[in-house]
Structure 1
Amino acid sequence: MEYGKVLRFHRVKQGLTQTQLADGIISPAYLSKIENDQTVPAIEVLELLYERLGLDFQEASYNHPSKEKLKEWYESIVFKRREDAQQLQEELLQQKETLSNHHLYIFFELFRIRHLLLENQVEEAYEVWEDIRQHKDTFDEEMEFYFHLISGILKYYSTNFDESFQELMEAKNYSSSLELEDWEYSDLFYLLALSTSQANHISASVFYADQALEIYQTHYDLAKSADCHIVQGINYSRLKNYAKSLENFHLARKIAIQTEDIVQLRLVHINIGTLESRIENHQSAIKNYEKSLEYNKESDSNFQALDSLTTIHGLIIEYYRLENKEGCLKWLNEGEKILHSFPSKSYELHFAVYKKVINQSENLEQYLEDIIIPYFQEKKEHVYVIRYAMFLADLLENQRMYKKSSTYLRLAIQLLNKHSHLGGILL
């Protein structure tokens, strides 16, 4: 039993200093050594410290409650069984050990973060994470695994994809010394596939998605298999293997129709639309983008709103490339309606650019130079820096501002050389 970690956990949780806990029992310096597992104190000392913290020393020392229900709860969260997850959480909260036992409390809070994300309570999830990480120096290896995995998910939510990948790799390192179940390994591999795909480590994403898919298929998990096919479709599209990309999207679509998963159907058609746009099949891109919007439902989900904004942005691009001003304005209006309820600075700027282009605004070049390109450079969204830099270079060249034009053309070329999979489609 790691008494020191338990003492430190409960002391910090109760807001006590080492001096306050040690007062009249031992010196603060000696308590510090106990908390850091640098010494093993007498049983009598431990009993007094536990008593001051309101803990039962015998119970805390010899009875380690089972984590089976916690793991059952966590599994229901991972597999998005919302009703089961809610019921199990309520049952766990009725057990006093859940919040009073050091080990159970840490696992409960870590799993609760993922439950909050499942319920789209993102801000509260970050608050719980901030609170639990103050106890990090009391974690064992299993706690470290879940902490890094959950941290990776939170980094992904905040679009820090490289940091997400690093956190998930830390979790993977800890997993080697643990006895995880297959579904936990597949979950880890799938999360790694997502983060590496978004961080543009495409080969790594293909590798991890294949590993996850192999486990999901072994266990006949259709929904998770479809998720993997969507990620692989995106990866192969970026690698310009469009046939392989479409093959994966169609497999995902087939499964989603069978399981009636409208979220997956929406994602499949968004991504097929993006692929068709890449190969300049504009009408097919429009058809798929509009099909994806048919799978929207009444929801306050940030993810659905983001998907809708992404789709509408794609539709605006396609109508612009077809020189269809009416189509552009129609979808600009639809996009602005969504922004009223779900503000997004990035899409606000995208839509503002198209409005200026359609209205032939005189300050378009200045707007791109002073606002748009610096914003996406700061966000490290290289695809948009490339896109807007190339567009600005063309505008400046038409005005015979060749020196300035070449500056932005060089910027786009440098980024294309570094991130060749991104492409540089004009607006």
Structure 2
Amino acid sequence: MNEGKIIKFYREKYQMTQEQLGKGICSGTHISKIERLHTEYAPEIITLLSERLGINIEKELIKLNNIKKRLNHWHDVIVMQLLEEMDLINHELEQEDLIQISDYINLYKLLRVRYLLMHNLTEEALEIIKEIQKKEHKLSTYEANLFKHVLGIYYLAKHENPKAIQVLKSINDTDYNNKEYTYHLAVAYHLNESPVMAYFFADKSRRFFKEINNYLRVIDAEMLMAIQVKDDGDFKETIHRFESLIKSCELCHSPGRKAKVLHNLAFEYYRRKDYEPAKKFYKESMILKDIESNPYLLSLEGYIRSAYYGSLHPNEELLQLANEGLKTALKKNEQLYINLFTLLSYLIQDKEQEYHQYLSDYSLPLFKKFGFVYLIKRSEKELFNYCFKQKKTRRALKMAHILINQ
């Protein structure tokens, strides 16, 4: 009975009335019943109507019936992060008019949101999310859980980590066989500074990626697990984990993942105040990144801080690098990096008062707004130490109370 849906779709597409389409073939009333699936009809009538519309009804039926299969394949490709194939399928589906009348239009829109988020197109993704929310009650059980997954990824992209945790935790495993969501839940817990939960869900995602033979995503999960382990007593084990991950990235020809591993290894050295290797690995990570990308700016910020605290470069050179980072951040209107490089500029110039004033008035509120837990804790400690040093006792006590409660 899909013939009627196809006839209606193309009739409306070509802006024909039912009477115009049926002239010399059948009445407009009969076409109305065909389109609404309210009557039987002779195959010859469908053939004549199709010829007038300039379509091959058999081919159109095959295309309509194959839409679910194509969408499921697209979903698999998105999970596998096969970027070239993902883009190709997206282009093909954009040209497929019949998606609009298929039973899987909601599935298409949900996967379209995932695709947009993978390309950092959050505003376009939000438009579709709002559209889906209006008819959320019409989603199938699987689509409802996929929507929660998609929403969790959106919240991660907007740095709303507690919201991401809340919605991803509500996914029903029984009704949703894509356990990839456990990886995004692990990321949310990691960004919320909950290492035990992050490790638990990262391990679950690792097992899922192994089951589907997706070794690139196994690397993602294992890297997330590695950065949760704070084995300060024996750093050799941590180094060994990261070295193994770097080799895996090289074997899989994945420079993007290698850049992430190098960045995280650099941070492990940085937090141990071992600034020279931290600077080295931040630099190696930067080499593999687009110099105007956010990941590059993040590694650049770590590189400058490592070099500054380790006295590894003249301050003039570091100030120039900070200004270059700030220039790029301003060009992109990236508020996080505008704040980070402004703070670095004050730090390098030894403008202690300006640094802490900016940190208090602008940076800390921004970090709290977006839930950057690590930056919030670092900032509050710095402000406490500054207030204590300046003998601003009341404010120091206030900051101490916040730190103790954390």
TM range (shorter): 0.7 to 0.9
Q: What aligned pairs does 1:285-364 form with structure 2 within 5 A after superposition?
A: 285-297=278-290, 305-323=293-311, 324=313, 325-361=315-351, 362-364=353-355
- Cα deviations by residue, 1:88-139 (Å, 9 ceiling, x for unpaired): 34444555542112x3111111111112223333321221111122111111
Quick one: structure 1 residues 93 and 264, their matched pair in 2 at CA, closer, same or farther if it must change by over 3 Å? Answer: closer
Unpaired segments ≥5 residues, structure 2: 1-8, 10-28, 41-61
When the two structures are aligned, how many residues end up with a matched partner? 353
Aligned to 1:391: 382
Q: CA deviation at 1:277?
A: 0.8
Quick one: structure 1 residues 346 and 86, their matched pair in 2 at CA, closer, same or farther if it must change by over 3 Å? Answer: closer
Correspondent of 1:215 among 208, 229, 232:
208
Aligned to 1:115: 115
Quick one: structure 1 residues 140 and 265, their matched pair in 2 at CA, closer, same or farther if it must change by over 3 Å? Answer: same
Aligned to 1:84: 85
Query: Do 1:265 and 1:292's aligned partners in 2 also have CA atoms closer than 8 Å?
Result: yes
Counterpart AA for 1:230:
M
Quote the Cα distance in structure 2 between the aligned partners of 1:129 and 1:53.
Answer: 33
Quick one: structure 1 residues 234 and 105, their matched pair in 2 at CA, closer, same or farther if it must change by over 3 Å? Answer: same
Counterpart AA for 2:343:
V
Quick one: structure 1 residues 242 and 133, their matched pair in 2 at CA, closer, same or farther if it must change by over 3 Å? Answer: farther
Counterpart AA for 1:71:
N
Quote the Cα distance in structure 1 between the aligned partners of 2:65 and 2:145.
Answer: 20
Aligned to 1:18: none
Counterpart AA for 1:100:
I
Quote the Cα distance in structure 2 between the aligned partners of 1:273 and 1:130.
Answer: 39
Aligned to 2:99: 98
Query: Do 1:387 and 1:412's aligned partners in 2 also have CA atoms closer than 8 Å?
Result: no
Quick one: structure 1 residues 215 and 413, their matched pair in 2 at CA, closer, same or farther if it must change by over 3 Å? Answer: same
Q: CA deviation at 1:363?
A: 4.1
- Cα deviations by residue, 1:128-186 (Å, 9 ceiling, x for unpaired): 11112211111120111211111111111111112112222222x1x3035x3xxx32x
Query: Do 2:186 and 2:197's aligned partners in 1 also have CA atoms closer than 8 Å?
Result: yes
Which of 1 and 2 has higher RCO (CA within 8 Å, sep 6+)?
Answer: 2
- Cα deviations by residue, 1:173-216 (Å, 9 ceiling, x for unpaired): 1x3035x3xxx32x222222222222233222212221222233
Q: Does 1:147 align with 2:140?
A: no
Quick one: structure 1 residues 70 and 389, their matched pair in 2 at CA, closer, same or farther if it must change by over 3 Å? Answer: closer
Unpaired segments ≥5 residues, structure 1: 1-9, 11-47, 419-427
Query: Do 2:158 and 2:370's aligned partners in 1 also have CA atoms closer than 8 Å?
Result: no
Please identify, of 338-347 and 358-367, the stretch whose mean Cα deviation from structure 2 is larger: 358-367
Aligned to 1:261: 254
Aligned to 1:400: 391
Quick one: structure 1 residues 320 and 57, their matched pair in 2 at CA, closer, same or farther if it must change by over 3 Å? Answer: farther
Q: CA deviation at 1:257?
A: 0.7
Deviating beyond 6 angstroms after TM superposition, the runs of 4 or more aligned structure 1 residues are 238-241
Quick one: structure 1 residues 200 and 52, their matched pair in 2 at CA, closer, same or farther if it must change by over 3 Å? Answer: farther
Query: Do 1:393 and 1:408's aligned partners in 2 also have CA atoms closer than 8 Å?
Result: yes
Counterpart AA for 2:210:
Q
**Structure having the higher Rg:** 2
Quote the Cα distance in structure 2 between the aligned partners of 1:86 and 1:55.
Answer: 35
Q: CA deviation at 1:399?
A: 3.3
Please identify, of 240-249 and 151-160, the stretch whose mean Cα deviation from structure 2 is larger: 240-249
Q: 3-state DSSP class of the match of 1:235?
A: coil
Q: 3-state DSSP class of the match of 1:112?
A: helix
Q: CA deviation at 1:403?
A: 3.7
Q: CA deviation at 1:239?
A: 8.8
Counterpart AA for 1:75:
D
Quote the Cα distance in structure 1 between the aligned partners of 2:128 and 2:145.
Answer: 17
Quote the Cα distance in structure 2 between the aligned partners of 1:128 and 1:244.
Answer: 45
Quote the Cα distance in structure 1 between the aligned partners of 2:385 and 2:242.
Answer: 35
Aligned to 1:169: 169
Aligned to 1:14: none
Counterpart AA for 1:122:
T
Q: Does 1:204 align with 2:202?
A: no
- TM-score of the two chains, using structure 2 as the length reference: 0.77
Counterpart AA for 1:165:
I
Q: Does 1:381 align with 2:372?
A: yes
Quote the Cα distance in structure 1 between the aligned partners of 2:231 and 2:298.
Answer: 17
Aligned to 1:36: none
